[in-house]
Amino acid sequence: MRAKLKICGMRDPDNILAVAALQPDYMGFLMYPGSKRFIGDLEPAIVTGLSGNIKTTGVFVDATLEDVLLAIEKYQLKAVQLHGNESPGYCTELRGKAEVIKAFGISETFDFSVLKAYENVVDYFLFDTQTPEHGGSGKGFNWKLLEGYQLQKPYFLSGGIGLENVPQLQEISDDRFYAIDVNSRFETAPAMKNIEMLTEFKKLLSCS
């Protein structure tokens, strides 16, 4: 299976439309005010007007359920990505409203057994680099650590992925590897994506 592509951290209207022309499978919008890629006062119509083939994804960090549900309605989100300490019960409340992607920061000391409680209440896991910033650090983690992942739930791979990682991505044979999540390594400034680099990345991946 060829991995799907998620381009995250979008905010500028013109840049959003340029990225949308590349037809990524997912496009992510940071709903976390603490992020330098926070969506801010972006006009909802920019998001709702995107092609139905692009799964618009709201990225949250310990937001209230009410705020997440309001954002799903306001932006007509197809997926939500949870980067905080959201519980399995919290995830259950969102099932059926949008795809639920639960993110976990991976480090040498990560305990993969914590994922078991989420297995049946999320659609996907997302494995990112463990940082205090809840992602978007531009730093990668040792993918060999995923050998400790024993569940069958498909996952997104994130964390400092850039053009130079294409050969490694092409070598991954794990059937659970569902999508690649890219962000800061393709930026000219926070929330501004380099279209040429993304075009090249997508082209190289399609050759795998």
Beta strands in 18-154, from DSSP E residues, in sequence order = 26-30, 55-60, 79-82, 99-106, 124-129
Domain region containing 126: 4-206
Nearest alpha carbon to residue 59 among 49, 72, 73: 72
**Structure-token match 């099932």, residue found:** 95
Report the CATH number that the domain containing residue 9 is assigned in CATH: 3.20.20.70
Instruction: Label residues 124-149 b or e (16+ Cβ within 10 Å = b).
Output: bbbbbbbbebbbbbbebbebeebeeb
**139's tokens:** 């730093």
Radius of gyration from C-alpha coordinates of the chain: 16
The domain total for the chain is: 1
Query: For all residues of the chain together, what is the average pLDDT?
Result: 94
Task: With a cut of 80, say whether residue 1 has pLDDT above it.
Answer: no
| Catalytic site positions | 8, 128
Q: What is the pLDDT of residues 149-184, one digit of tens each?
A: 999 999 999 999 999 999 999 999 999 999 999 999
- For residue 137, the cross-strand partners are none
Q: What is the pLDDT of residues 79-127, one digit of tens each?
A: 999 999 999 999 999 999 999 999 999 999 999 999 999 999 999 999 9
What pTM was estimated for this model as a whole? Answer: 0.95
